[in-house]
Chains A and B, each alone.
Chain A
């Protein structure tokens, strides 16, 4: 059971380059999330998708776009990478949130992105 799979694991970009981080889950979860992790700041939410066909901004969306391709896949795109986007990026998924079901978030293993 793969869970949440992210690709690539590592990436180095030059300022101004673009790239897409891929995420897929095989748990039939409705909700998916993209977080970034920076030292001393914990994980901060970039974008999320409550269910297939919907996406919404999180805490730090500037410089990013997302696509919920289907129920399984949720991609994060950097159109013009900047050094401030150097970070570790995590994708996560969970069952559809109703407020009553405390199903946890399941995380991928992260992508370490460096922008020079």
Chain B
């Protein structure tokens, strides 16, 4: 079974600065997908960014980018020019690329609470 670990329960950053959230995962599979979800106080789960394991290029979405290290099984999220609206819980998640019994379900890490200071 796959596991996802987020070792930073809480992180903080000053507005306009850059912060990196860590995520490691354990899997024996070679094909899979990785995601970062954001959960603001409203409880809504918002997809931030996704990465296909077969792609060497790191995914980017505006101020959000990832550092995907497949050999190290590491998938960190970098938030540049942090804004007050970035304050939220962030979850890293793994999804097997196998069809069949995996049925597309996500395995989540424990979450990291990000505080943004003005």
Binding site for B on A (CB under 8 A): 31, 33, 35, 40-45, 48, 50, 56, 58, 88, 90, 92, 94, 96-100, 102-105, 107, 109-110, 112
- Find chain A residues with CB under 8 A from B104 CB: 31, 50, 94, 96-97, 103, 105
Asked if B102 is at the interface (CB within 8 A of a chain A CB), the reply is: yes
- Find chain A residues with CB under 8 A from B75 CB: none
- Identify the interface centre among A42, A58, A96, A100: most chain B CB within 10 Å of its CB: A42
Q: How many A-B residue pairs have CB under 8 A?
A: 68
Cβ contact within 8 Å between A99 and B45: no
Distance of A105 Cα from B108 Cα, bound (Å) = 12
Size band of the interface chain B makes with A: 20 to 34
Binding site for A on B (CB under 8 A): 4, 6, 9, 31, 33, 35, 42-45, 47, 50, 52, 91, 95-111
Distance of A87 Cα from B105 Cα, bound (Å) = 20
- Decide yes or no: A99 and B105 within 8 Å by CB, A88-B43, A104-B47, A109-B43 being known contacts: no
Closest to A107 in B: B45
Distance of A107 Cα from B99 Cα, bound (Å) = 21
